Amino acid sequence: MSNRPLANRTAFITGASSGLGLHFAHLLSDAGANVVLAARRTDRLEAAVTAIRANGGEALAVALDVTDVDAIGPAMDAAQAALGPISILVNNAGVSGDGAALSLPAAVFDQTFDVNVRGVFMAAREAAKRMLDSGVAAAGDARIVNIASIAGLTQLPGLTAYCASKAAVISLTQGLAREWAKRHIAVNAIAPGYIETEINADWFATDAGKAQIESFPRRRLMDGDALDQALLLLAGPAARFITGSIIAVDDGQSL
């Protein structure tokens, strides 16, 4: 098997300015894909694009807030004009929506669903339209990978809104997979456990965060590359018979 299984394919990654999204951009580039890094923080995107190009990859930065529905299509059009038809969408942009249900502000609840659910749906729909129009879907190369969470499979204290939003992502994944199966667009999701990221690093440095780690079966957080093989599988040619699947990569944390 080629060590560049995604050669000549273009991947569009949301939330790509930091954390998992940035890691995914480098991973898919190393696998041969042209990568489009989409996020709000364009200064970080440009630095990432420079690094990917220095490593021999093709990359493009596009400013995108996934809650701005009217901006998603034009961002994807710009990506395709520069790097070719989008074959892979990684719906990674997300917010945590922390807060106990009794005190959670309505604005935080709304933002959680705007980004984590509405943004995922709208990005998937715009990508699917272009996969159909370009012939990528007919060729069997259309892949949509949604980043869900074990929070969508279980309940985490103080994260009711977030859990509900990720459960919705799982439902959306399966619904779109069923609806688009005959159109040859594969839609799958990865449900990660806890990986130490920019978002949660401060929490896991606290006594309460350390206690949470001790409650996990293996008493550890996952490494930053924990999702690599699942993403490469779902984004690549080996996923031609996989759609509607939710792959939990959580080191047993949800047990």
Q: What residue has token string 């945590």?
A: 96
**Could you give the C-alpha distances from 238 to 6, 35, 138, 158, 249, in angstroms and in order?**
11, 19, 16, 38, 18
Count the alpha carbons within 13 Å of 201 in the hemisphere toward its beta carbon: 6
User: Can you give the pTM of this predicted structure?
Assistant: 0.95
Query: Per CATH, which fold does 10-192+227-249 belong to?
Result: Rossmann fold (3.40.50)
Q: What secondary structure letter does DSSP report for 154?
A: S
**Could you give the C-alpha distances from 234 to 43, 97, 146, 149, 246, in angstroms and in order?**
29, 27, 10, 16, 10
What confidence score (pLDDT) does residue 142 get? 99
The overall longest dimension of the chain from CA atoms, in Å, is 53
Q: How many residues does the chain have?
A: 255
What confidence score (pLDDT) does residue 179 get? 99
> Regarding beta strands 246-249 and 185-192, do their DSSP bridges make them parallel or antiparallel, or are they unpaired?
parallel
- Nearest Cα to Cα of residue 85 among 8, 27, 181: 8
Tokens of 10: 């273009």
- Catalytic positions, please? 162
Please give the Cα distance from 2 to 132 (Å, whole number): 26
What confidence score (pLDDT) does residue 135 get? 98
Give the SS3 label for residue 251.
coil
What confidence score (pLDDT) does residue 2 get? 66
Per-residue pLDDT of the chain (255 residues; tens, 9 = 90+): 468 999 999 999 999 999 999 999 999 999 999 999 999 988 899 999 999 999 999 999 999 999 999 999 999 999 999 999 999 999 999 998 888 999 999 999 999 999 999 999 999 999 999 999 999 999 999 999 999 999 999 988 889 999 999 999 999 999 999 999 999 999 999 999 999 877 788 889 999 999 999 999 999 999 999 999 999 999 999 999 999 999 999 999 998
Burial of residue 16 (number of CB atoms within 10 Å: 0-12, 13-18, 19+): buried
